[in-house]
Each structure stands twice: as C-alpha cells, then as structure tokens.
Amino acid sequence: YKANGIIPIYIRYPKLALLLTGTPGQIDCLLNSYGNGLPSRILAYTFREAPHWKEMGDDCISLEDSFKPIAHRVYELYNFCLAHPVLFHFTRPQWNRLNEIFSRMLSEVAMEGNDDLQAVVKRYAFLVMRISMIQTRIRQFEATDLSSEIYCIDADFERSLQIVLCCYEHSRLLHSSMPAPAVRPLKNPDIIRNFVNELPDSFTTDEAIQIGAKYDFNLRKVTRLLKSLNGIKISKISHGSYTKMNK
C-alpha cells in the first residue's frame, strides 16, 4: 500500500525473486514470526563458515568483470523464454514421489501439533516444481530445443527435491529459535448476553455480583457492566437496585 494504505498497489503477476544473506540478528528482523506467512515463501539455508582471509590487491578480478559474461548469457536465456513459451510437465512417477513425500511431512508436523510449519510444507512442495521448471528450461535453452511442451527429467527433479528438503530442515531449525506466538484461548462470545439473561427481572448489585462470579467476572467488571447496560438493558431504580427493561 502507498500513502498509509490510501492508494492500494496491485501486482497482478508478481515475478520477484531475491537472494539475501545476513547474520542471525538480521534474520530476526525479517523472519521474526511464522504467523505472517513469509517464512513459507522463503528457502532458508544456515551455515557457519570457518574464517579465512580473502586476498586483496589491484590485480584481483572484480565481481563486475566476473558477472558480465554471465549476465549476457542470462539475457539470452530471458529472450529465449519470451520467444518460446512452453508447457511444463512432471512425469506421473515424479508426481507420485512428490505427493508421497510431502503428504508424509504434513502428517508429521500435524502429529507434532506444529501449525506454523504446515504452510511451509505446502509451499515448499510448490518450490520443488518451480526449481524443476528453471532447470528444465535452462536445459532446453542450452540444447536450442524449440518444443512447445517439456518434461522434467529425473535428475533435475531429484536435484530440486533435495535442495528443498535440505532447506526445509534449515527452516525447521530457524523456527526453533523464533519466539512462540502469544496465543490466547478462545472465549465464549455470548458471555455478556448470558450474564444479562440470567439476571432476574429485579435485582440488586450484590445479586449481580453473585451471578457474575459464575462467569469469572470480578467486582470491577460487574460494576462496569451495570453502568454500561443502564438505559439499554436495565434501569437503575435506586442505589444498588435495578430492574430489567422490557424486551
């Protein structure tokens, strides 16, 4: 949203992908909760690297020079994909393997009572397909294959599957370091109505307090309710004496 939500911005076909690296402290700023759905949309990989010194000097090859030929090749791949759209397929055995693995994973997190990871399991299954599509498309580009339909080979499928399953374990690891969300138990939404319905046609403050105790209402809450209901559901006759209004 732009300008505090006044002007909504709609992205009809989002195609944004990012590769981000950072420290655990920076991860906390990005993925501080599983409740917002963002962790299920990100492949996470954590590692600890042994410190080593990288040589410095004027004769070192710059990253810009290293990426120039790669960028040109990616641009060619981009144009190839625009000019030759295709329909991507998994084979039936690949679909069966995908369904078997992720249905078992979903059952495991459900058995553990881990609701947060259920979305991760479901979306990570789609990521297997997306990574497989990318590999298959690159293979088609390198072979100058102009077919309108392409099938994923088992090598690309298994590679994509192993990447996602590895990142899933890392996602579980990150999840273990996140603070548990403060979940409050559900309450009866009709509790105030039930309290009012149980009040007799004529009652005193003490009688209202006794009835309120059944609903775990303390003295302060009963007093506040009597004040807010006066003129709406009840009428105050005198100090500490009330009567219900006609329905």
100-119: average pLDDT: 85
Domain boundaries, the chain: 1-49+84-180, 191-244
Asked if residue 51 has pLDDT above 70, the reply is yes
CA nearest 205: which of 194, 217, 193? Answer: 217
Asked if residue 16 has pLDDT above 70, the reply is no
pLDDT in tens, 68-87: 889 999 999 999 999 999 99
Q: Tokens representing 31?
A: 């993925």
Asked if residue 1 has pLDDT above 60, the reply is no
The pLDDT value recorded for residue 187 is: 76
Measured distance CA(69)–CA(63) in Å, rounded: 11
Here the contacts of 54-63 (C-beta below 8 Å, separation 24 or greater) are none
In degrees rounded to 5, what are phi and psi of residue 138?
-65, -40
The full length of the chain comes to 247
pLDDT in tens, 186-226: 778 888 889 999 999 999 999 999 999 999 999 999 999 99
More confident residue, 240 or 1: 240
The pLDDT value recorded for residue 146 is: 94
The pLDDT value recorded for residue 2 is: 57
235-241: average pLDDT: 91
> Going by DSSP bridges, is the β-strand pair 87-89/149-151 parallel, antiparallel, or unpaired?
parallel
pLDDT in tens, 141-162: 999 999 999 999 999 999 999 9
Q: Residue 49 in 3-state DSSP? A: coil
Beta strands in the chain (DSSP E): 87-89, 149-151, 202-204, 234-238, 241-244
Question: Would you tell me how many other CB atoms lie within 10 Å of the CB of residue 217?
Answer: 19
Measured distance CA(247)–CA(233) in Å, rounded: 8
The pLDDT value recorded for residue 13 is: 76
The pLDDT value recorded for residue 47 is: 84
Give how far the C-alpha of residue 186 lies from the chain's centroid of Cα atoms, to the nearest Å.
22
